[in-house]
Amino acid sequence: MTQPIDFLERYWNHTAFRPMQEDIINAVLQNEDTFALLPTGGGKSICFQIPALMKEGICIVVSPLIALMKDQVNNLNNKGIKALAITSGISFFDLDTLLDNCIYGNYKFLYLSPERLQQDLVKARIQQMNVNLIAVDEAHCISQWGNDFRPAYKNIAILRELHPTVNVIALTATAKPEVVEDILSELDFISPKIFKASFERSNIAYMVLDTDDKHYKIEQILKKHKGSSIIYVRTRRATQEIHSFLESRGFSSLHFHGGLSTKEKQEHLHLWTTNQKEIMVATTAFGMGIDKPDVKNIIHVNLPESLESYYQEAGRAGRNGEKAFAVILKNKTDEQALKNQFLSVLPSIDFLKQVYRKLCNYFQISYGEGERTVHQFNFNEFCKTYEFNSSKTFNSLQILDRNSIISLSQQFNYQAKLQFLISNQNLFRYLETNKQFDVLVKSIMRTYGGIFDNLLKIDLNLISEKASMNEDLVIKSLHQLKKDGIVEFQFSNTDSELTFLMPREDDKTINRISKHVQQQFNSKEDQIDAVIDYITNTIVCKNKQLLQYFGEDVKADCGMCSVCISKTKTRSDPKSITHDIILQLENQPLNSRAIIEALSHDENAILKTLQLMVENHILELTTTNKYKIKHT
């Protein structure tokens, strides 16, 4: 095998490259520093994997996404290609062994996070490796103007010092022009080969729809455009709620979120990717690294946090080239909810300093000390001790983690699931002779409605507050109830492990990063503003709006987005709408949904006309909320 196409056929079973892939591969093979901007689904990984396979030695891949690293390593190993990933939670001994394997074990790929490049052991071993290529995935993370800036990405420059003659390929799916410039500068590219694919996805119809009943609107969309779909929501509870709603309406659906077991995730993913189940209701992390070509609908029930993330998520539709739909559902409260979720919880620099000081006090770290010390960390207890707002504190810890002041495992609090195994009547009989559990059991029953029917995730902190018991006693009591056969109780302690990465210097520590942190806050505000502009602009074609955001100028309207369709709709005059409504109601009263489905007029125009007809005593509402003609 001497040509890139030979490797593509042997390992990926494809006979042709996607647009730009072969040109990018050839630039890398010619030892050029290369920048590749390929939208979601453009096949970025092949652009560094094939040249790395063709060259002698190992490719270092820097990526911030542990789940994606694991997926790519598994995929490569399944093809018979030796690859490994250095993720969190690896002991020093295991790390030492893995790095040795990269030097002596004929491995072709080493995936690691940028934070790993701060470790002396990792740097020393990389210097001994026969590195053939450095690949920087999600390269926008290196830019302070990017949508996911990670200061640790600045460490990548170390690789260029360790292997000054090795070329670098930087890859990203979403980057505005100023971000691209930043990437090229930070990675010290000289005369780079730059490849930029257009952001235009001409087969996707971008829609923004106003609705007060999102469940009903989802049902309408899925009936109209049948096919494989992803419905994105913000919370785990919402995935379950919408999944249950769809199942009750006869749709074939599943749900997917971080709280599912690995086995459940694999089962749900398999059923969806093989089209045994049509609809996946998921939190936004779902879909990363999944290349399902026939997704017909992407529906966002909540507003996205940035147009970058929205473009990536929407881009999971229509990869087979057939017409697909990317829909955002919105109502009057969504804009404020978006600001509350992503802006009001941002900590001030002063609050960040306060959290850092209290964190040091909490673990009794003296000034000038604490570097590399490791501690078990109970997040809820910390917030309670200092009466801190949990959302702002969580964001503060994330900022400290991203800026390499601390290292924090991502799990917080206890994971606990509970279900009552006996009937309501038998439970009360049990409580008559076990009164010590009375307040606890009643607090749980009043907090979780389906606790008799399903194994539910419970919040131990919330229950301890409601029952006026400390958390340890709640856990002990639930274990006893399990022993007595009253409940199924699954419990695991997932307290965070917190490592201080530098000596305590209080305000000086935060002052060093304050400029970057403030810049990130400003960027987040700009991103939220851009989302709100996108959903409220009903004049400019949605496709045009997205392309302009990413620095592309396009002249023609797409002709199929919600804005373009609204322009082509004939404006129905109130008289004709009134006439058609009366015809529908001559034989029977109908609710507004039935009337909207029966008529071809604009939905908002129908609702406005119905309101006017009631006000003018032409129609009246029945006790079951149906419209009927008012007879005088």
pLDDT greater than 70 at residue 383: yes
> What angle, 0 to 180 degrees and rounded to 10, lies between the N-to-C axes of helices 514-536 and 349-362?
130
Same-domain pairing of 161 and 151: yes
Query: What would the two tokens of residue 495 be?
Result: 């307290």
Task: Say yes or no: 65 and 165 in one domain.
Answer: yes
Tell me the residue type at 575: K
Q: How far is CA 299 from the centre of its chain?
A: 14
Of 142, 4, 144, nearest in space to 62 by CA: 142
So what's the pLDDT on residue 408? 80
- Structural domain range at position 614: 569-629
pLDDT at 259: 76
What is 247-299 written as a DSSP string? HHTT--EEEE-TTS-HHHHHHHHHHHHTTSS-EEEEETTTTTT---TTEEEEE
Residue 237 pLDDT class (50, 70, 90 cuts): confident
The terminus-to-terminus CA distance of the chain in angstroms comes to: 88
HEC secondary structure over 79-96: CCCCEEEECCCCCHHHHH
What is the rounded distance in angstroms from the CA atom of residue 312 to the CA atom of residue 316?
7
- Residue labelled with tokens 């009547």: 425
User: Residue 289: is its pLDDT beyond 70?
Assistant: no
CATH number of the domain to which 514 belongs = 1.10.10.10
Q: What is the pTM of this model?
A: 0.73
What is the rounded average pLDDT of the residues 251-257?
Answer: 94
Residue 458: which pLDDT band, with cuts at 50, 70 and 90?
A: confident
- Concatenated DSSP letters for 588-613? S-B-HHHHHHH--S-HHHHHHHHHHH
Considering the domain boundaries, does residue 66 fall inside one?
yes
pLDDT for 493 beyond 70: no
Per the domain annotation, does 579 fall within a domain? yes
Query: Which pLDDT score is estimated for 486?
Result: 92
For residues 50 and 104, membership in a common domain is answered with yes
The mean pLDDT value for 146-164 works out to 83
pLDDT given for residue 299 in this prediction: 98
Q: How many CB atoms neighbour CB 464 within 10 A?
A: 19
312 and 438 share one domain: no
Statement: residue 169 has pLDDT above 90:
yes
**What number is the average pLDDT over the span 11-40?**
92
* Domain contains 530: no
Q: What is the pLDDT of residue 1?
A: 61
Please tell me the predicted confidence (pLDDT) of residue 244: 93
Q: Looking at the structure, do residues 18 and 161 belong to the same domain, yes or no?
A: yes
CB proximity list for 530: less than 8 A, separation 6 or greater: 306, 307, 549
Place of tokens 């302070």: 144
How large is the average pLDDT for residues 108-129?
91
pLDDT tens digits, one per residue of 183-207: 999 999 989 999 998 889 999 999 9
pLDDT in tens, 346-361: 899 999 999 999 999 9
In this structure, the answer to whether residues 52 and 181 fall within a common structural domain is: yes
Q: Is the pLDDT of residue 405 over 80?
A: yes
The answer, yes or no, to whether residue 374 has pLDDT greater than 90, is no
What pLDDT shows up at residue 398?
87
Same domain, 554 and 593: no
Phi, psi of 492 (to 5 degrees): -140, 140
Spatial CA neighbour of 115 closest among 493, 309, 405, 542: 405
Q: Are residues 484 and 353 part of one domain?
A: no
**pLDDT value of residue 102:** 93
Q: Is residue 249 part of a domain?
A: yes
Q: Are residues 275 and 392 in the same domain?
A: no
Indicate the pLDDT class of residue 26, thresholds 50, 70 and 90: very high
User: 162, 196, 230 — which closes off a domain?
Assistant: 196
- Rounded Cα gap, residues 324 and 44, in angstroms: 22
Percent share of the chain, pLDDT over 70: 96
What's the mean pLDDT in 96-101? Answer: 90
- Inside any domain, residue 529: no
The verdict on 474 and 515 lying in the same domain is no
Q: What is the pLDDT of residue 125?
A: 93
The pLDDT-based confidence of 431 (bands split at 50, 70, 90) is very high
Reply yes or no on whether the pLDDT at 87 is more than 90.
Answer: no
- Looking at residues 176-185, what average pLDDT do you find? 90
CATH code: domain of residue 157: 3.40.50.300
Residues in the chain: 632
Same domain, 348 and 465: no
Q: pLDDT band at residue 285, thresholds of 50, 70 and 90?
A: confident
Q: Is residue 196 exposed (0-12), middle (13-18) or buried (19+ Cβ within 10 Å)?
A: middle
| 625, part of any domain | yes
Rounded mean pLDDT, 424-445: 91
Residue 155 to residues 4, 235, 406, 458, 462, Cα–Cα distance (Å): 31, 34, 16, 40, 41
pLDDT score, position 497: 79
pLDDT recorded at residue 264: 86
Q: What is the pLDDT of residue 154?
A: 82
pLDDT at 495 over 80: no
Residue 571 has pLDDT above 70, yes or no: no
Domain assignment of residue 429, yes or no: yes
What percentage of residues in the chain have a pLDDT greater than 90?
Answer: 56
Predicted confidence (pLDDT) at residue 400 exceeds the cutoff of 70: yes
Q: Mark whether 518 and 552 lie in a shared domain.
A: no
In a domain, 601, yes or no: yes
Enter the tokens of residue 113. 């996070």
In 3D space, the residue among 524, 538, 149 whose CA is nearest the CA of residue 305 turns out to be 524
140 vs 601, residue with greater confidence:
140
| Listed residue (394, 208, 222, 174) closest to 302, CA to CA | 208
> pLDDT at position 89, please?
64
Banded pLDDT at 40 (limits 50, 70, 90): confident
Contact predicate 254/276, CB 8 Å: no
CB proximity list for 410: less than 8 A, separation 6 or greater = 496
Tell me the pLDDT band of 146, cut-offs 50, 70 and 90: low
What mean pLDDT is reported for the chain? 89
Q: Which of 172, 196, 220 corresponds to the end of one domain?
A: 196
- Report the domain count for the chain: 5
Which pLDDT does position 473 carry in this prediction?
87
Which tokens hold the place of 170? 């930087």
